[in-house]
Amino acid sequence: MPDRKRIDSGSVATHAVLSLGALVMTFPFLWQLLTALKTLAETSQVPPTFLPKDWNWDSFEEVFTALPFREMLTNSLINTIGRTVGQLVFCSLAAYAFARMQFRGRNVLFALFLSVLMVPSSLLVLPQYDIIQSLGLLNSAPALFLPGMFSAFGTFMLRQFFLTLPRELEEAARIDGAGSFRIFWSIMLPLIRPALAALAVITAMWSWNDLLWPLIVNTDPEKMPISAGLTSLEGQYETNYPVMMAGSLIASLPMLVVYLFLQRHFVQSVALSGSKS
Amino acid sequence: MSVFPATAAAKAAGRSRTSASGTRPGPRNQRSAYWFIAPLGLGFAVFYFWPLLQTLYFSFTEFGAFGGHTFIGTDNYLRVIKDVTVWQALGNTLIYCVIGLMALPVAIVVASLLNRRGLRGVSVYRALYFIPFVTLPVAVGLVWNWLYNGDFGLVNEILSWFGVDEHYWVSDPSTAVYAIGTVMVWSTTGYYLVIFMAGVKGIPQDYYEAAELDGAGPLRRFFTITLPLLSPTIFFASVICMINSLQTFDLIYIMMAEKNPAIGDTQSVVGLFYKWAFIENAQGAAAALAFLLMLVIAALTYLQFRIQKRWVHYA
């Protein structure tokens, strides 16, 4: 950590580049906020106004009356937790085997698993719907997260991270008589914590914003997540933009909190103890 | 057929061949591996492989007016190959793929900049760059359409300072693909940033310190330490990025109004699939189209796994 304030040209340039990028990245978010504060009449003006004529916070209240907003947030939360926990467990187990173990048919199986990534998700929506229906799970919480608990993306990602770990650790543990699961659980898994946190963030984000699948399996508004719920604000002739923007702002806040909470983990350097030869 | 590099495990087991395919079990064939894979395999079987097999069957059938499927052989596939709009959509999709890959260098550079020791406000930047990722797609489309607007959009406004004439970016067939591609890059950068930040943090800091003592400047350190050690992550991200951009759909669907004259020039393969399957009810042909797209994706992914040996550096 720097204990002296020394302005070097390098960090000024770094800040300049990063700030410019940050502006480009956040502008649409700002625009969302400004739109949410306008009246409905003002959003349909041509040319559009940049700043609201009069700041009007009603839309933020209206979201809660226009939709069963609380139930929807709860559904989003259940969906997100279900998928994220499922993926962390199932993908880390499989990824470890693919990265660090020898077994018959490993590459064929990995290629097969990877093929799941290559399927456009809309292709499988109808047969997956049939499966959920035959399980009697339509309009239920499990319907939201069941297929999404299994991910080729997560498996591939964690495998890449497992591949970068030094071999000495496993060797030593094996000599010490630890079993496969023990090595995986108490030695290897903690070492890829940044990757696990990154996967958790990405999965949470995708689950939270997922639209097509929830719209198909859970048609009851009380069972919908917020991503699907907001689309019902899109009218046939006119969309209530201020309410929609207010809703999507409120909907993205929990994810920002999750991100800020988890980012510490995926940016924490892992102390590679034991790799000193 | 082994496209995968042997992991260090194979080397340790004393097999110098770069093929660790399971045809001949190595001296340390670990049976417990199957238990590690079983839970995921079961989920895949129920929710992905079984539906996939069903859909594959449908692609050789015609969906009758009274329900039920009639077997028609490869007619659907022939129809897809003969259709001009399919080739146009495939061309557009490949353009999206190339543009989409631009997100990677941007994310790598930002991730390395954010890794500078003692940089103030790192966590603020990290949060800001992540914002596009938490913004709902609907909002993203609306904002960008407004920015691109030919009459009063901010993009024209800024370009006019540099003497560029105003332009209808999203409705001109020659620029619409690039306009959408730009938004794609913008909205995915934060996501690859998350992956690369995790990767960069896995590089031991003492490598950098040692290089600094040897007098290597920041650029030199980036090219000799960061890039090689990040290569497994870069490889992963480029495969994912390619697969995702070949399946682009949402953004185009949101940004292109139905009456937009550039709609044919921006249509992606999945967009066409969606139109056939859910609007025109041609499910057999749609399934055939999706499988042909899968073949294209699989071929390109296979290629990437082949080339990776030349540039990816594993521990």
Which CATH number characterizes residue B273's domain?
1.10.3720.10
Chain A environment of B250 (Cβ under 8 Å): 211
Q: Give phi and psi for B276, each to the nearest 5.
A: -65, -45
Whole-angstrom CA distances from A179 to A98, A184, A189, B128, B170 are 17, 9, 14, 43, 59
Q: How confident is the model at residue B8 (pLDDT cuts 50, 70, 90)?
A: very low
pLDDT of residue A272: 44
Determine which of B106, B116, B131 to mutate to test the interface with A (most A C-beta atoms within 10 Å).
B131
Flag whether B54 is in a domain.
Answer: no
- In this prediction, residues A204-214 reach a mean pLDDT of 88
Q: Domain range for residue A186?
A: 68-233
pLDDT of residue B315: 64
Q: Which of A146, A163, A201 sits opposite B47 (nearest CB)?
A: A146
Flag whether B165 is in a domain.
Answer: yes
Flag whether B162 is in a domain.
Answer: yes
First-to-final CA distance of chain A: 27
Flag whether A72 is in a domain.
Answer: yes
Q: Which of A2, A32, A104 sits opposite B135 (nearest CB)?
A: A32
Q: Could you read off the pLDDT of B189-230 as tens digits, one per residue?
A: 888 998 898 888 878 888 888 999 999 888 899 999 999 989
Flag whether A181 is in a domain.
Answer: yes
Written as six digits, the tokens of A159 are: 């495998």
Q: Do A220 and B212 form a contact (C-beta atoms < 8 A)?
A: no
* pLDDT, greater one: B250 or B89: B89
Structural domains counted in chain B: 1
Determine which of A34, A123, A146 to mutate to test the interface with B (most B C-beta atoms within 10 Å).
A123
CATH number assigned to the domain comprising residue A212: 1.10.3720.10
- In whole numbers, what is the pLDDT of chain B averaged over residues? 84
Q: What whole-number percentage of chain B has pLDDT above 70?
A: 89
Flag whether B201 is in a domain.
Answer: yes
Q: How confident is the model at residue B49 (pLDDT cuts 50, 70, 90)?
A: very high
Residues 80-109, chain A, touching B (beta carbon < 8 A): 89-91, 93-94, 96-109
Q: Do A21 and B287 touch (CB under 8 A)?
A: no
Q: How confident is the model at residue B156 (pLDDT cuts 50, 70, 90)?
A: confident
pLDDT of residue B177: 93
Q: Could you read off the pLDDT of A170-193 as tens digits, one per residue?
A: 888 888 888 889 999 998 999 898
Separation between Cα atoms, residue A206 and residue A199, nearest integer Å: 11
Flag whether B23 is in a domain.
Answer: no
Determine which of A17, A110, A119, A193 to mutate to test the interface with B (most B C-beta atoms within 10 Å).
A119
Q: Report the DSSP beta bridge partners of residue B70.
A: B62
Q: Helix crossing, A193-209 with B122-134: angle to 10°?
A: 40
Ranges of beta strands (E only) in chain B are 61-63, 69-71
Q: Could you read off the pLDDT of B258-309 as tens digits, one per residue?
A: 778 888 889 999 999 988 988 888 888 999 999 999 999 999 999 999 999 8
Among chain B residues, the shortest Cα distance to A32 is held by B139
**Residue A206 forms contact with B (CB below 8 Å):** no
Separation between Cα atoms, residue A158 and residue B187, nearest integer Å: 23
The shortest C-alpha distance from A180 to chain B (Å) reads 7
Flag whether A102 is in a domain.
Answer: yes
Q: Do B189 and A25 touch (CB under 8 A)?
A: yes
Q: Is A138 helix (H, G, I), strand (E, B) or coil?
A: coil
pLDDT of residue B65: 62
pLDDT at A216 over 50: yes
Q: Do B55 and A123 form a contact (C-beta atoms < 8 A)?
A: yes
The residue written with tokens 């199957």 in the block is: B34
Written as six digits, the tokens of B115 are: 């890794």
Q: How confident is the model at residue B28 (pLDDT cuts 50, 70, 90)?
A: low
**Residue A164 forms contact with B (CB below 8 Å):** yes
pLDDT of residue A209: 86
pLDDT at A85 over 80: yes
Q: Is A223 helix (H, G, I), strand (E, B) or coil?
A: helix
Residue type, A176: D
Separation between Cα atoms, residue A206 and residue A209, nearest integer Å: 5
Separation between Cα atoms, residue A89 and residue A251, nearest integer Å: 26
Q: How confident is the model at residue B314 (pLDDT cuts 50, 70, 90)?
A: confident
- Residue B28's Cβ-count burial label (10 Å; 0-12, 13-18, 19+) is middle
- ∠B111-B102-A24 over CA atoms, to 5°? 65
Chain B environment of A117 (Cβ under 8 Å): 240, 243
Whole-angstrom CA distances from B32 to A110, A192, B50, B101, B253 are 16, 21, 25, 38, 46
pLDDT of residue B240: 93
Residue pairs between chains A and B whose CB atoms are closer than 8 Å: 297
Among chain A residues, the shortest Cα distance to B24 is held by A104
Q: Give phi and psi for B259, each to the nearest 5.
A: -95, 5
Q: How confident is the model at residue B48 (pLDDT cuts 50, 70, 90)?
A: very high
Query: What residues contact B247, with CB distance under 8 A and at least 6 apart?
Result: A120, A121, B268, B270, B293, B297
Q: Do A24 and B110 touch (CB under 8 A)?
A: no
Q: What whole-number percentage of chain B has pLDDT above 90?
A: 44
Residue type, A7: I
- In this prediction, residues A6-13 reach a mean pLDDT of 69
Residue type, B224: T
Nearest-CA neighbor of A152 among A201, A191, A199? A199
- In whole numbers, what is the pLDDT of chain A averaged over residues? 85
Flag whether A45 is in a domain.
Answer: no
pLDDT at B78 over 80: yes
pLDDT at A274 over 50: no
Residues 40-79, chain A, touching B (beta carbon < 8 A): 46-48
pLDDT of residue B66: 65
Residue type, B141: G
pLDDT at A6 over 60: no
Q: Domain range for residue B273?
A: 89-309
Q: Do A180 and B32 form a contact (C-beta atoms < 8 A)?
A: yes
Q: Which of A167, A234, A267 sits opposite B197 (nearest CB)?
A: A267
Separation between Cα atoms, residue B174 and residue A230, nearest integer Å: 33
Among chain A residues, the shortest Cα distance to B52 is held by A124
Flag whether A218 is in a domain.
Answer: yes
pLDDT at A277 over 60: no
Separation between Cα atoms, residue B13 and residue A22, nearest integer Å: 48
Q: Do B128 and A149 touch (CB under 8 A)?
A: no
Flag whether B178 is in a domain.
Answer: yes
Flag whether B46 is in a domain.
Answer: no
The residue written with tokens 């030869």 in the block is: A277
pLDDT of residue A110: 96
**Residue A24 forms contact with B (CB below 8 Å):** yes
Flag whether A243 is in a domain.
Answer: no
pLDDT at B245 over 60: yes
Separation between Cα atoms, residue A206 and residue A228, nearest integer Å: 13
pLDDT of residue A65: 87
The shortest C-alpha distance from B119 to chain A (Å) reads 7
Structural domains counted in chain A: 1
Q: Do B270 and A269 touch (CB under 8 A)?
A: no
